[in-house]
Amino acid sequence: MAHIDYYLAVISPYTYLAGQRLEEIAAKHGATITYKPLDIMQLFARTGGQPPKDRHPSRQEYRLMDLERSARMLGVPLNRTPAHWPTNMAPASYAIIAAQNAGGGDLGALVASLTRACWAEDRDVADDTVIRDCLTRAGFDPALADSGLLAGAETYAANLEQAVKAGVFGAPFYVLDDGERFWGYDRLDQLDRHLEG
């Protein structure tokens, strides 16, 4: 059975565009997933990338065009300039970590709900009320927003270190137990075909 380490950032528009396709692919092939939220800005700094605001204007313009085209192609709403972006990723990331440890809900739905809150609903994923609502929607106890904060912080930091070691440099990023790596929501078809053999 294949295993996928899923490196994600709750404020990444491309993590939002990935939706729950990874979960569908994993279910199809009987693969398991470990969700590894991380601080994408620190990852950029560690791996030679730049935050969007620091990129050349032509790259910034292209990114916005690409996001709009991709959202239209996928049939999902997208606000190119969300009201709460960037924002503190840590609280929502800790909630994902706590939910994964607790079990009982739908982690894919939780990630999708948090990223949708940022990129389609103009909600702040650093806000406790938003996090609790997303936890509830995904079938988790909303009190997880307040639990395991120390463990969440430690895991969040460890996820960044593991990402750098695994060759991850963006989000979403998928690392399989056989060493294959796939970067971006638009590589999910390749991941699917790889799992087919």
Going along the chain from its start, the domains and CATH numbers come out as 3-196 (3.40.30.10)
Q: Flag whether pLDDT at 148 surpasses 90.
A: no
Burial 83-115 (b: 16+ CB within 10 A, else e): ebbebebbbbbbbbbbbbeeeebbbbbbbbbbb
Give the pLDDT of residue 7. 98
Q: Over pLDDT 70: what percentage of the chain?
A: 100
pLDDT, tens digit (0-9, with 9 covering 90-100), for 10-43 = 999 999 999 999 999 999 999 999 999 999 999 9
Q: Which helix (H) or strand (E) segment is 33 a member of?
A: strand 32-37
Looking at every residue in the chain, the average pLDDT score rounds to 97
Q: Flag whether pLDDT at 50 surpasses 90.
A: yes
Which tokens sit at 106? 């739908």
| β-pairing verdict for 3-8 and 181-183 | unpaired
* Average pLDDT value for residue range 167-171: 98
* Average pLDDT value for residue range 50-56: 94
191 and 18 Cβ atoms separated by less than 8 Å: no
Give the pLDDT of residue 34. 98
Backbone angles phi, psi at 62, to 5 degrees: -65, -40
d(CA 67, CA 102): 34
pLDDT, tens digit (0-9, with 9 covering 90-100), for 97-139 = 999 999 999 999 999 999 999 999 999 999 999 999 999 999 9
Cis before residue 57, ω within 30 degrees of 0?
no
Burial class (CB in 10 A: 0-12, 13-18, 19+), 74: middle
Q: Where are the alpha helices (DSSP H) in the chain?
A: 13-18, 21-29, 40-47, 57-74, 90-102, 107-119, 128-137, 149-166, 188-196
Residues contacting 53, CB < 8 A, separation 6+: 60
pTM for this predicted structure: 0.97
